[in-house]
Amino acid sequence: MATPPRKAPAGRWVFVTAIVVTVAVGLASRQIGWVPAWIGDALWATTAYFTVSAIAPQARWWR
């Protein structure tokens, strides 16, 4: 008997949604002149965090 495919944890979709929203905000921030330049760096770092969290949702960040 074949085993059913594993479902992604529900929290993973939260991170995927957060990635999409963060990328959209980052792209929109380039079009707004009054937004400081460092906002793009902060959003990039946030997207990297969300990506790692989506790939390995149960990874421990510290021991």
Q: What is the mean pLDDT of each run of 10 residues along the chain (63 residues)?
A: 65 88 90 86 92 80 64
Q: What is the pLDDT of residue 44?
A: 92
What would the DSSP string read from start to end of the chain?
Answer: -PPPPPPPPHHHHHHHHHHHHHHHHHHHHTT-TTS-THHHHHHHHHHHHHHHHHH-TT--S--
Q: What is the pLDDT of residue 53?
A: 84
Q: What is the pLDDT of residue 21?
A: 93
pTM attached to this predicted model: 0.70
Q: What is the pLDDT of residue 45?
A: 94
Q: What is the pLDDT of residue 8?
A: 57
